[in-house]
Structures are given as C-alpha cells and as structure tokens.
Structure 1
C-alpha cells in the first residue's frame, strides 16, 4: 500500500487528538483501496463487504477490525488496555517516553536497531499480552480483536479520496492462496481460548462478539456450499431431495434465496457498485468456499493434530504481460496448476451433467418434474457461475486455461463420486 492523499495523517489526528475520544481510541482505520482492478473486478479483490460495508456496521458499535494496513494507532494501545497499568519492561519504548535527541544521534539509532532486531521481545509479554499479537496467520485481525477486547475503540475513516492505494493480485491462484492463508488465521482465532463466541462476547458484548465471529468462523461456509454444489448427484440418480413446487416448504427456499441475494445486491448498490461487480463478488464467494475455504480448513485441521504443513504463502503481485492483458479483458487466469481448481472443475462438470439429465427426464415426460425443479434450478445456477471454468477447460487455448491434467483428474473424480453416490442412494 502507498499514500494517495497527503492530508491523511491530519484526518487521523482529528480523531486521535479529540479530547472526547482520546482516552479510549485505539486506532483509526482507512479502507483498503486498489489500483489496476479491471472494470468488473472479476476476482472481487476490492472486498467491498470486508473493507466498507461490514466495517461501517462495526463502526456503529466499537469500530472496525484492523485490516493490516492503512491504519493509524495510538501508541498507548500496544501496552495494554486503556485502564491497565503500563508494564515497566522497556522504559525507552513506553508510549509516554519522549525522545529529545536528534534522529541521527547514536542513542536513537541504537534504539532503532534494537527494535528492528526484535530481541527486545524475548522473555517479555510482547506478542501475547502487549504489542502485535502472535498465534494466528491473520495477525492483523487478531491484534485488532485483542485490542478491542481490552477496551479500546476504533474508528473507520472513509474519505471520498482514497487515503492509500495498493496492488491487487491478477491471478486466480494467488487470490485463492491469499484467502487460504486468511482462512487458517481466522480458524486459529475461532478455536482458541480467545474465541469471539465465548471470550469476545464477554469482553465486548454480543454485537461486536458476533461481528468478529462472522469473520473467524466464515471458513465453515465451505461445508454448506460444498453440499449445495453436489446435490446434483441425486438428480443424476433420479432421486428428488427438495420440496416440490406445490409444497409449502418450497416457498421457504424461494424466500431465503431471493432475500439473501437481494440484501447482498442492495448493499453493493448503496455503495455505488454495478451489477457485474456484485455478480463477480458473489461468484468469487462460491469459488472461495469450494477451494480456499475448504483447503484452508483442512490445513488448519492437519496443523491442529501437530502435523507439519508447507507453511506461509506470500501473495504474488508480479505482473506478467500476457496475464495482464487477459485480466484487463475480464478473463479468468488458471495458468498456474493448483489442486484447488479440482473441486471447482468437479462441481462444474457435475452441475452440467445433472442439468442436461434433468432436461432429458423432462422430455421423456417424467412424472416428478415438480420434485426435480429445485435441483435443476440449483444446477442451472451452478452452470451460470461456472462459465469461466467451462471456457478454461474447453474453448481456450492460451496459457491461462485449465491444464489438461486438472481437467482429466476432475472428470475421473466426478465420475467416481457419481458411481459412489448412485450405489449409496439406490441402496
């Protein structure tokens, strides 16, 4: 991220210097904004819900969570809660210590080297009770959460002119790897002794506790979305699992679907976004649930059992000319092979097969078309969301297409899954 407005520090100081807020204001958070995002933001890198919509809601209570950048802290927040006595561990680093020597003096340079080396952390509470908190790959989320649990408040400052700008990834695998890292970090908070459901609600109250729980438990969305991505196995087996159109329960499904998507769409419209951007945002939510949420949850479980994983992945922001051209044209980039593409391709294949089979049954004059309607609708909805995947598997010849190996593996696994489901459902 880099500065886009020289007035930004003054905006932050307006809050941090306010006598009415000063005693409990921990930090002022500016939303992350990005340059270079293509017209329709195909990878939903703006994360409008995270940085603006949900943050505005949290701002009405105790303030948004710390998003890792674009933030101004009251130095006092790194030394415990607003009413907590300061630790005398390192007097030179205390928030009330005034440095009255020139910045290039030997004493100041020695202190700077001491801080940069991080040796001052040893045998102290830094990272666990004070300072930036360790113990989660989402250390920014965890740090802001702990600070607000201690009693600090935060403020969202969202001026018309962006305070900071940054670069967003233009490769799908980089987006998914980034989200997978966040997934592991969120779950590390969710299932720790500082879980927002227990510790958070007691410390901050139910509204803020549930707001943080919304983020820390969000990877669990991979379970229902994965389930809804593959009920078409029942359709292929000729079995109905949803209410018929004439049944009262059918209206509940219609209400939940339309209500959820309408609310989500209105949130985007209020923030001045377009329909294509909203559509790509909801599509990426489904894609992430089937890939990075799922793989991140599995990796978290493996780590929980003490089994070593391949570790931290840094998101690449390196620009490739061919990738850049495809990105500007709104074409999804699958050129870097990843196992996270396999469940996406499997879901796309099974939804297309089920939708086709449903039409075959309709032309045959099936007596249970009412029962098949919801399953065919979900399959059709999956197909519309999977259009970039079909293009990458079938019609594209550029380097950004899905590799032949990934397509073949997905076909074989989808067929094996169908055979297994058919045997189970028929018996």
Structure 2
C-alpha cells in the first residue's frame, strides 16, 4: 500500500524502508546508498542497498542476544560475495523499478501512474494527488491484481521482508551490503524474554512458510540463483529445524544419565577425541566469528545461550505451529512484538536480569530443561563416585553441567527472585510434573527394551 501511495505522490526512483521504531543516525547515509545505486556498472541489476540493523539501548552483555550479529552483519558480508545480501525489512534503499519484475522484464501495473517511470507533475498536496493516493491506499485494492505476487512486496509469509528480497533475487536483481563505521540507523529492542521469544517464533513460522512453498530455496532458489546463494537463503528458511537436535541434546543424554545408560564413547575410547574436537572446535569457530564482528566474550556467551533457549522454545513452537497450520488447525496467529519500555522492566534489563513475568507456554520446555539437567548432573556426579563409572558417563555429565551453566538465569527466576519478573510458580509446577512423566516413560521404555 505504501509503495502505491508514494508512487502517486512523488514516485521517486529510490524507496527507503524503515521499521517504525528506527531512526536515522547518519545524514550521509542517502549519499552512501546513491553511490551504489548510481554506479553504471551496478545500476542495471542493483535492486537494493541494505544497511545492517543495529540497536541502541542494549545492556552491557546483551542478555537476550538481540544484536543478531550473524543475521545482520556476518552472513550479509558473506552473501555480498555472491549475488548480494538478503533484505531484512528495514534500513534498506530500493530501486523502485525492482518491484515491477526482473531487470530484463517488466510487469505493467493496472494504473500507469503507479509505474516506476511515471512523472508526478502536481504538488504533493493538490486535490488530484490526494484523491489518487486515497484510491490506491485501500486494503482491498490489490484484489484481482498482480500486487503481492508479481508487483510490489511479496505476500504469502509472515517474514515478508525475507520473502520479498529472496523473490527479487530469483528474478535477477542483485543487492549490496553497506556497513559504515557509524551506524546508518538505530532501532529499539524488546526487553522481556516473552517478547523476544515470540518475535523469533513468528520469524520461524514465516521462514518455514517459504521453506516448504513452491518457491523453496532448496528447489526454486537453487535453480534460479545457483547453488551457493540458494543454500544461503535455505540456511535462513530452515531455521526452526534446529529445534530437533537442540531438544535431543537437552533431554536424551540427561535421561540416559539418570538411568545410568552410557550413550557416548568412554574417555579412554579414541572416538572420545572426535567429540571433544567437534564440541570445542564449533564453539571456538563461533566465538571467533562473533568477535570479528566486534563482539565481546560476555555478549558471545549470551548469544550462544539464547540460541539454545530459542531452540527449545521459539524454534520448537514455531515448527509445531507451522505443522498445525499446514494441517488446517487453528493457531494463535500473528503477535506484534512489544517495544514499550516499562520502568521496572527497563531497570531489570539494564541490570542484566531476565524478565519472565507472564506465564507462557514458551517457558515450559526451558524450565523442564533446567530441572532435568540439574537432576541429571547431581545424579551423574553421585553415580560417578558411587559406581566409579566417570569414564563411561563423562560426556553426559559434561553436557548436563553445560546445560546447568546456561540455565542459571532460569534457576534464579525459579528460586531466588520474588519480583514481578520471576518465573511463574505455575510454570515451575507444570514443568516439574512433565519432567516426572518424561522420566517415568523413559524408564518404562528402557525396561521394555531389555
């Protein structure tokens, strides 16, 4: 709609998209974008110039990992070496022509004045301009037209920014990532865990809608863009699939440890070194990439912890919600992320304290993980001395200890806090009950297997 309204009022060849909570931080930003968009070598196929999404007001350790350095900085730099970076919904200068078909094709809109080459020759406040803008601003205007499918921003996914950029790149458009030292734009971040997880859940559902549609990056994307760009977009599209391995590692080794079953190689086994190499190597690589993007150790720790938290909540619930939607089962629907700062919440956030507060189903698997890992670690340490089997259970004890370390904010919210942001008692009781059922079922399954 905004694209059509701007066409009737100015029809400027460059379109800037910004989230409502973002503001300009550098007056030189338009000039930087124009350097790319006016370059004759890039111009014919350059669809947009993307600036990184950077936030102000982050606390010292960024406890909710809202920077998303890989999403907004590291990955775009890599994709810049291919066909260009993805569109992230804000901080982006578009070539208006890109919304009307590929560089070598053109989809004509139903009104000539909506086309990219139309010249507006009336004052912006004139009666004719205002009437035209009002006419094309209707929510039902695009019905029976190509808007949303062939023209303009693409519909069909909750992550319309990712989907639009992906489809434009499949049409032949290219993009550039511009990352100046001074942030071009700054925005707000959610300061409660519930808002953070609901935001990522919404993204997960939207990305899966693209992953399994007829324009899937694995099939249509690779065919249209090539192998590497297609896989780069598929990396985002299948985000929520991370819920499967994360949930397995959060529950299975711990349940096995409680039942004194070893599922990993012993310390004395040569294969143990492979597990050490993969675990340490993956985290070292992750840390190096994060620090190269000007991150600190404390923020990296928050980032990897939130990746695990999102995997157990946002990705898991997003994956489940997508499956239910695919089966025609009603779900909660679209939730807008709140950016309103409550005084008490803001104070807790500045202190680096997790804000739970409201009872949410998203907190249940997190609390279950915290309880199960604590039980498993305690039982594993006791068993290692009583049964003298540290060699066989060392990896499982290590994983349980790593889980406990990552769950420290949850333990604090469960036991030590009494403020409004503590973990609701109802959530703790439900999680404890479910962990008990899980242990009983796993014991029964183990008994039957023998």
1:109-129 residue CA offsets vs partner (Å, 9 max, x unmatched): 122223322444121111012
Q: Deviations over 1:151-172 (max 9, x none)?
A: 0001111111111111100000
Looking at structure 2, the residues matched to 342 and 308 of structure 1 have their Cα atoms a distance apart, in angstroms, of: 21
Counterpart of 2:128? 107
Q: What's the counterpart of residue 324 of structure 1?
A: 346
In the alignment, which of 249, 265, 289 is matched to residue 228 of structure 1?
Answer: 249
1:354 aligns with: 376
- Aligned equivalent of 2:359: 337
1:144 to 156, 165, 182: 165
CA RMSD of aligned residues (A): 1.0
The answer to whether structure 1 residue 390 and structure 2 residue 411 are counterparts is yes
* 2:3 matched residue in structure 1: none
State the TM-score, normalizing by the size of structure 2.
Answer: 0.93
**Separation of aligned partners in 1, 2:240 and 2:139:** 32
> 2:392 aligns to what?
371
The count of aligned residue pairs is: 426
Q: Is the 8 A contact 1:349 1:414 kept in 2?
A: yes
Corresponding residue of 1:252: 274
Measure the CA separation in 2 of the matches of 1:397 and 1:85.
61
CA contact (8 A) 1:234 1:425 kept: no
2:42 maps to 1:21 = yes
Aligned residue number for residue 291 of structure 2: 269
- Give 2:215's aligned residue: 194
> By how many angstroms is 1:420 displaced?
0.7
Q: 1:94 aligns with which of 96, 115, 135?
A: 115
What residue number does 2:147 align with? 126
Does the CA contact (< 8 Å) of 2:384 and 2:393 recur in 1? no
Pairing 1:238–2:256 present: no
Q: TM-score, length-normalised on structure 1?
A: 0.98
- Higher mean C-alpha displacement, 248-257 vs 108-117: 108-117
- SS of 1:134's partner is coil
Unaligned stretches of 5+ in structure 2? 1-21
Q: Is the contact between residue 234 and residue 422 of structure 1 (CA under 8 Å) also seen in structure 2?
A: no
Deviation (angstroms), 1:131: 1.0
- Structure 2 distance, partners of 1:40, 1:422, is 40
| CA–CA separation in structure 2 for the residues paired with 1:60 and 1:108 | 42
Contact 2:59 2:352 in 1 (8 A): yes
Check the 8 A contact 1:334/1:400 in 2, yes or no: yes
Query: Which of 60, 82, 105 matches 1:39?
Result: 60
Q: Deviations over 1:263-307 (max 9, x none)?
A: 110011111211000000000000000001000111111100112
Distance 1:303 1:362 in 2: 46
Q: Structure 1: which 5+ runs fail to align?
A: none
Please report how far the alpha carbon of residue 248 of structure 1 lies from its aligned counterpart in structure 2 after TM superposition: 2.5
Q: Secondary structure at the match of 1:72?
A: strand
Select between 246-255 and 218-227 the one with higher mean Cα deviation.
246-255
Q: Report the secondary structure of 1:117's partner residue.
A: coil
Q: Which moved more, 1:105-114 or 1:5-14?
A: 105-114
- Residues in 2 aligned to 1:30 and 1:55: alpha-carbon distance in whole angstroms: 10
Deviation per residue, 1:179-200 (Å, 9 max, x gap):
0000000000000011100000
Q: Deviations over 1:393-424 (max 9, x none)?
A: 01111111101111011111011101111111
Does the Cα contact within 8 Å between 2:198 and 2:337 map onto a contact in 1? Answer: yes
Do residues 9 (structure 1) and 11 (structure 2) align?
A: no
Cα distance in structure 2, aligned partners of 1:90 and 1:207: 38
Equivalent residue, structure 2, for 1:281: 303
2: CA distance, partners of 1:133 / 1:88: 15
Aligned twin of 1:219 = 240
| 1:304-315 matches, cutoff 5 A | 304-315=326-337
- Is contact 1:79-1:86 (8 Å) kept? yes
